[in-house]
Amino acid sequence: MKVKLITIPSPIAMTNVDEAGRASETFTFRKFVEIAVDNYAPFGKGLVAARQAMKILELAEKANGSLGLEKADYDALAAAVESAPFTARVNRQSIPFHEAVQNAKDAP
């Protein structure tokens, strides 16, 4: 079984602009994965897809430094990340998270 390893980047200080000015919040890789998975339409189609989404989220929750995913789960996460409905601001600020997924390595 082929496994892909994603090196988890440090949390990002995400800057948002609101009526009161600039505000910052910590955005973790785990939250990035959760948003991508929760908004990926194929994960909403049936029990098998729901279980795959749950597996990815559970592994992301337990991950410490790197996230190891079977190839099929990695491919699904990569597709979810690519289609996630982030705003342009969030998408731009979360580039390290996008790159971490794109630059996953095959496990030895």
DSSP letters, 46-66, are SHHHHHHHHHHHHHHHH-SSE
The beta-strand segments (E) located in the chain are: 3-7, 12-18, 21-27, 66-70, 105-106
Number of domains in the chain: 1
Q: How far from each other are the two terminal CA atoms of the chain, in whole angstroms?
A: 11
Model confidence, pTM: 0.88
Please give the chain's pLDDT, 108 residues, in tens. 899 999 999 999 887 766 666 667 788 999 999 999 999 999 999 999 999 999 999 999 999 999 999 999 999 999 999 999 888 888 898 999 999 999 999 998
Burial environment of residue 85 by CB neighbours within 10 A (0 to 12, 13 to 18, 19 or more): exposed
Quote the domain boundaries for residue 25: 3-106
